């Protein structure tokens, strides 16, 4: 029997943590990184952690933009991160909303934070050590999702994300 070695992960919320929350953001031209965000992801990579993004994207359900726009923006983010020697191991998003304008997205989903589904789906796909993993979010629903998935949640409100992550990893 072989055992896969696990490693910890940092789950980043997107809007309000990695970038300034511009409300229903899907265009790279309107994307503004939080100070130290790219460096924070690189720090997580260098520490040997998985780096994941978990983001609610109800703008899809509301008909403001398409899932392809989310993929395009995430690909752009990946290129921006690569330019500073950083990477995200996986981007997860939930387009669903119970009051969606677009019928096919009108549903309750455990992948929509505060549900833990995006986190638990990633933990099934990757060998994540949950006991030493953490989520960084800017809303209480992010922390609720972390608790429901059995990982530590940290609230990031403002400042330099690299400084915040450096402190968080010291306490991990």
In 3D, which of 93, 84, 94 has the Cα closest to residue 41? 84
- Assess whether 89 carries a catalytic annotation: no
Please report whether residue 93 resides in a domain: yes
Q: What is the pLDDT of residue 3?
A: 57
Tens-place pLDDT, residues 67-111 = 999 999 999 999 999 999 999 999 999 999 999 999 999 999 999
Query: Which listed residue (15, 96, 138, 142) is catalytic?
Result: 15
Task: Indicate the pTM of the whole model.
Answer: 0.96
Angle at which helices 37-46 and 161-170 pack, to 10 degrees? 30
In a domain, 172, yes or no: no
Please report whether residue 112 resides in a domain: yes
Establish whether 15 is a catalytic residue: yes
Structural domain of residue 76, as residue ranges? Answer: 13-165
Q: Is residue 5 part of a domain?
A: no
With respect to residue 7, please indicate whether it lies within any of the assigned structural domains. no
Going residue by residue through the chain (172 aa), what tens digit of pLDDT does each one get?
555 799 999 999 999 999 999 999 999 999 999 999 999 999 999 999 999 999 999 999 999 999 999 999 999 999 999 999 999 999 999 999 999 999 999 999 999 999 999 999 999 999 999 999 999 999 999 999 999 999 999 999 999 999 999 999 998 7
* Cα radius of gyration (the chain): 15
Is 46 within a domain? yes
Residue 171 lies in a domain: no
In a domain, 1, yes or no: no
Q: Which of 13, 96, 138, 142 is catalytic?
A: 13
Residue 33 is part of a domain; what is its CATH number?
A: 3.40.50.1000
Q: Domain total for the chain?
A: 1
Terminal-residue alpha carbon distance, the chain: 30
């Amino acid at each position: 029997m072989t055992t896969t070695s696990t490693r910890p992960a940092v789950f980043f919320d997107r809007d309000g943590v990695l970038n300034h929350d511009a409300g229903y953001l899907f265009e790279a031209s309107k994307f503004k990184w939080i100070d130290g965000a790219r460096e924070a992801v690189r720090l997580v990579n260098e520490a040997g952690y998985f780096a994941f993004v978990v983001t609610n994207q109800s703008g899809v359900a509301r008909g403001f933009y398409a899932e392809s726009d989310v993929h395009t923006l995430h690909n752009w983010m990946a290129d921006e991160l690569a330019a500073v020697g950083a990477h995200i191991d996986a981007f997860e998003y939930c387009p669903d909303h119970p009051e969606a304008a677009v019928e096919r997205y009108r549903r309750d989903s455990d992948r929509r934070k505060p549900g833990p589904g995006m986190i638990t789906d990633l933990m099934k796909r990757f060998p994540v050590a949950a006991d030493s993993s953490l989520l960084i979010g800017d809303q209480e629903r992010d922390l609720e999702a972390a608790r429901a998935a059995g990982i530590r949640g940290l609230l990031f409100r403002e400042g330099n994300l690299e400084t915040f992550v450096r402190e968080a990893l010291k306490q991990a």
